[in-house]
Amino acid sequence: MNKWIIGFALILMVGMSPLSACIIEIMTDNNQPRIGDLVTVTIALKYEHRRCVIELKDTQFMPDGIEIVEKGDWQTLGAGSFLLKMKVLVKNAKASLAVIRECEKKGISEETMKFKVKSTK
């Protein structure tokens, strides 16, 4: 009887765990820019699975209120860990960047950075 309860609890825990294809972290050198500022954004990516079927080039970038001016190449930091730097131009007070990866095994991973744009005064 106890084995059934433990097994059921494990199924519930696994079923309720968040689905994500990768671990994505977005960092910037200036999270409080003004409109017209050029900001460097760094994206760190760590694979959830050792043999990820999603190519790095298939990572989607969804800018809102910003323009991607320059995008570097992915750099390998270690096994399954990567880094990408880009420069973005802030064009709107509601500026954000979403990074999305879609995995057949684990679903969608998405991380969004919202910039706290300062007024131009």
- pLDDT tens per residue, range 28-53: 999 899 999 999 999 999 987 777 77
Domain CATH code at residue 49 = 2.60.40.10
Q: Is 80 exposed, middle or buried (0-12, 13-18, 19+ CB in 10 A)?
A: middle
Q: For the whole model, what pTM was predicted? A: 0.78
Residue 2 counted as domain residue: no
Residue 13 counted as domain residue: no
Number of domains comprising the chain: 1
N-to-C CA span, the chain: 69
Strands (E), 35-106: 38-47, 60-64, 66-71, 75-78, 81-90, 96-103
pLDDT for residue 20: 53
Residue 11 counted as domain residue: no
Residue 94 counted as domain residue: yes
Strand partners, 66: 90
pLDDT for residue 62: 97
pLDDT for residue 102: 87
Q: What is the mean pLDDT of each run of 10 residues along the chain (121 residues)?
A: 51 45 90 94 88 86 97 93 96 95 82 90 57
Residue 50 counted as domain residue: yes
Residue 100 counted as domain residue: yes
pLDDT for residue 87: 97
The position carrying tokens 């995995």 is 103
Residue 121 counted as domain residue: no
